[in-house]
Amino acid sequence: MSAGAAEIEGLSEGEARAELDRLQVEISRADIAYHQNDSPEISDAEYDALKLRYREIELAFPELRRADSLTGRVGAPAAEGFAKVRHAVPMLSLAKAYTDDDVTAFIEGGHRFFARDKDLVLEFTTEPKIDGLSASLRYEKGVFVRGATRGDGSVGEDITANLRTIADIPQRITGDGVPDVIEIRGEVYMTHADFQALKARSAADGGQDYVNPRNTAAGSLRQKDPTITAQRKLRFFAYAWGEASSLPADNQWGMIEAIRRWGFPVNPLTRRTASIDEMIEQYRLIEAQRATLGYDIDGVVYKLDRLDLRERWGYVTGEPRWALAHKFPAEQATTVLKAIDIQVGRTGALTPVARLMPVTVGGVVVENATLHNEDYIRGIGGDGEPIRGGYDLRVGDTVVIQRAGDVIPQIVAVIPEKRPSDAAPYVFPDRCPVCGSEAKRELNEKTGRLDAVRRCTGELVCPAQAVEQLKHFVARDAMDIDGLGDKQVTQFYAEGRIMRPADIFTLKARDERSLKKLKDVEGFGAVSVKKLFDAIDAAREPELDRFIFSLGIRHVGETTAAMFAKTFSTIEAFRETALSAASEGGDIHAVFPSIDGIGDTVLRSVRDFFQNARNVEALDELLKEVRPRPYVVTISATSEVAGKTVVFTGSLEKLTRGEAKAMAERLGAKVAGSVSKNTDIVVAGPGAGSKLTQAQSLGVRVVTEDEWLVMAAK
């Protein structure tokens, strides 16, 4: 059990739900910043802590698991401007370890899983974790035909032309055992020497500055012009594979040797280890060489060697159970907190940002850090107990900042003896710094506690919220209006051209009547304006799920919007039901149908959104201009049990419970711990008790272990 697990066990259901909602927002924002924008906002360690707490809350409160849960998601959606590539085999993330004890727990977990295999020796390959950008290279008949980024793990960006410029990547592979189809996976990176040379050339030419090799490599790989990528001298290490028509080996070590024979660079520090002591020893050896390697690494990766054992151990929440990333300790430095600024987001959240005296940590100059919320600044947690040693943060304080993974730091401590005598406690504003409206912390009705986040009550009256809402509306995952990015939205709002979403679709007609044409505005022209208007017209018949997501209803993410679209089919049905829930005395449960995966928090947000007359007015104006397409459900399954909810009960004789669960999840099923009306299949072994009785009373399909194995094999 982690340190935070004990705290989680003490949470009420309402507290856990509120915490899960907050973490959903923070993790999603961090995913976009790191994977899509190549501009991380928080450290790896802080991100991993958020994901760990998120997962532990879901484990402690399985009934709160959201339809758009992040535990099975990797990275961020593919960026615009590149064709999308769906990975035949998902590119998954790895579970993280930060201590030797974490690694020991991982290995011991493996031995427990394979407990029935007496005298089984678990061997693992141990290799450096390269800090670059993951890429997948597809070869057909030995010829390189397509390359893609990881993207969100399921869909990446087609960057074939750019990958062809990397000398380390062979255009054709030959030799023994080359399959007809093979996807080679690895990491694109930039050496320290090439990075410094690029910085020097750019500085001499008066060009941009570059922050670190990882971000530079990622940005170089996403260039629209491959000749620019070619100038950046990117490198590649291969370490895995995806889809393959056949495999030349039955273990990781043999596969790596084959990949090396085919002409791919494989990291020379990769070893095969047969015990915890050997794994930790190799970790120490690699860590000791970190500064002299000439490229960035941020840890060591352990992978179970035998492929058949991997298949049995399986996967969980978007990660393989059979692999682990052992991260290096974070780097730290000391600096001064110069100021605390407040930023206002789309939902009115007031987010404090630390402005720091510039300091170099790990070769990167850092000046900012997130401060999360006012309780964090005051030095107390949600339970009112002190955090970070109990020292509140004050402007003028000398603070310790920490970096992990070469990203923006976090403040981890205050040095009290260096505090100026006139440093006063920071007073968090109770008024929005943008519009002056009152900023409140909402009271959680169930917990009786105030939310950690203070929000501006100005809503659409607040320019900051209005602009952020418009940015969300036109974003790629929402209405996806090309040519109307953050810069244009901000400019058009300031000029009064676009104040609400409906204004986007009347822009062309108003521009035709205007004396000051948009094409005559600096930064625009006849061609760019025509493209913009064409893109706006192309967005007039959006998919229903995208349209619902674009409305910016708090807590309604892409997956949740899809659930609503699937349930209601049309925007008219969704609007009518939401308005009924918003009516005085309306009971959300009496009005909304039961939707698996959508809980009270989301339903209350929808109700609150439609209780605001300005939101309804804005929606109705918008519906005069756009016609969301009805949602059509297309069912696709790769196995008989895909998409089913399965419960295992009683004693299993041919599988351990862990193996059974892993098998179900691998086939696309959801494993639940209790039987309900939403259960599809109950696998009952000898000694099945109350769960079997419950299944029979509900009419749920009950199968034996043998019948389950037959279903799973189809």
Tell me the HSE value of 380 on the side-chain side, using a 13 A CA sphere: 8
> Cβ(650)–Cβ(684) under 8 Å?
yes
CA torsion sign, 476 to 477 to 481 to 487?
negative
Give the DSSP per-residue string, 403-450: ESSSS--EEEEE-GGG--TTPPPP---SB-TTT--BEEEEE-TTT--E
Tell me the HSE value of 638 on the side-chain side, using a 13 A CA sphere: 7
> For residues 504 and 621, what is the distance between their CA atoms, to the nearest angstrom?
11
> Cβ(467)–Cβ(459) under 8 Å?
no
Name which of 354, 339, 344 is nearest 431 in CA terms: 344
Strand 398-403 to strand 331-344: parallel, antiparallel, or no bridges (unpaired)?
Answer: antiparallel
Name which of 131, 37, 199, 195 is nearest 406 in CA terms: 131
What order do you get walking across the sheet with 398-403 strand by strand?
364-370, 350-361, 331-344, 398-403, 410-414
CA distances (Å), origin 103, targets 175, 254, 398: 37, 24, 35
Q: Which of 129, 233, 327, 644 is catalytic?
A: 129
Dihedral angle of Cα 601, 440, 370, 19, to the nearest 10 degrees = -30
Tokens of residue 610, six digits = 């439609």
3-state secondary structure of 667: coil
Number of other residues whose CB lies within 10 A of the CB of residue 714: 8
CA distances (Å), origin 417, targets 369, 397, 413, 645: 22, 9, 12, 57
> For residues 538 and 282, what is the distance between their CA atoms, to the nearest angstrom?
56
3-state secondary structure of 124: strand
Give the DSSP per-residue string, 181-250: EEEEEEEEE--HHHHHHHHHHHHHTT------HHHHHHHHHT-SSHHHHHHT--EEEEEEEEEES--S-S
Question: Which H or E run includes 325?
Answer: strand 323-327
- Name the amino acid, one letter, at 691: K
> For residues 279 and 326, what is the distance between their CA atoms, to the nearest angstrom?
10
Q: Is 251 exposed, middle or buried (0-12, 13-18, 19+ CB in 10 A)?
A: buried
Query: Active-site residue 624, yes or no?
Result: no
3-state secondary structure of 90: coil
> For residues 467 and 484, what is the distance between their CA atoms, to the nearest angstrom?
12
Residue count of the chain: 714
CA distances (Å), origin 359, targets 356, 401, 525: 8, 10, 42
* DSSP state letter for 397: -
Query: Which residues participate in catalysis according to the annotation?
Result: 129
